[in-house]
Structures are given as structure tokens and as C-alpha cells.
Homo-oligomer: A and B are copies of this chain.
Amino acid sequence: MDTKLTLEEVRKFIAIEFPQMADVYRVDAIAPMWAQVSMMPDERHLRPGATVSGPTIFGLVDCGMYFALMATIGPEALAVTTNASIDFMRKPLAGKALIAEVNLLKVGRVLAVGDVAVRSEGSDALIARATLTYSMPPKK
């Protein structure tokens, strides 16, 4: 199984279609049913106590799932998130990038399910863990 898009094609697609995302999120690597994305949190993403806000982590997780799916089924598809469940477990390390690793567990006719693990760069400890379900676009 090949990816439908190369890493370069995914990055180009994001830069054109999601310019605001492209400023924040970086696609590090893709493979069939898999992707790794990362971001460097800045002032905008912090909360009191110097922790990264939940919505920031959710944004990283959701875009990682989207990019993994796009690489797997192709860019024309308008899949949308229908369900997300996320557990926040530890504070990120200060001054380190956040890295999200996405594994697609199922890409079915109507639903795709993915598992996302978020860690700080250089650390094995899980910061957050999410499961997302996307509704697949109807076949033309």
C-alpha cells in the first residue's frame, strides 16, 4: 500500500488550502495509515502555569488525523470529524516542540478511526492521547 500523496505533496496542499494551519503545524513524515506532525507552542498557546492549552493540543491532534487520512485516501476528500475523545495526562516540557503520532486504526466505507499520541520532543512520556472518528465523504 502506497500513500496517495508524497510528503511534499501533502505540505504543498496544506500551504495552499490551510495557510493558517501551515504557519503552526508541520508535517514531519507520512506513511500509509500513519503520520507524524509537530508544532512549537508560543505565547498564544499557553495557559497560566505555563501549560499548553487543551484546544492547542486538540488542534494538533485533529490536524494530524486529517493529514494522515489525506495521505491515505487522497486530497480531494472532505472528511469531517464526527467524534473525538481526548485524555490529557501530563504537562508538556517547557520550550520543547509537541509531537503527535497518528495511527489510523480503520479506514472504512463510512467511518475512519485514528489513534493519536502526543509527546514533548525528546521525551517518551505521553502528554495526551486521543481517538478521533471521521465521517468519510460519499463516494462519487
Contact = CB atoms under 8 A, between A and B. Distances in A.
Q: What bracket does the count of chain A residues touching chain B fall in?
A: 35 or more
A95 interface: no
Contacts of A20: 44
A20 to B, nearest CB: 6
B78 A87 contact: no
Q: Is the interface of A mostly helix, strand, loop or mixed?
A: strand
Quickly give the copy total for this chain: 4
Contacts of A44: 20
Contacts of A115: 129
Interface of A: 17-18, 20, 44, 47-49, 51, 53-55, 58-59, 62, 78, 80-90, 105-106, 108, 110-111, 113, 115, 126, 129, 131, 133, 135
Given A82-B111, A82-B133, A89-B113, 10 more contacts: A48-B78, A54-B81, A58-B84, A81-B88, A82-B89, A83-B83, A84-B84, A84-B86, A87-B131, A89-B105
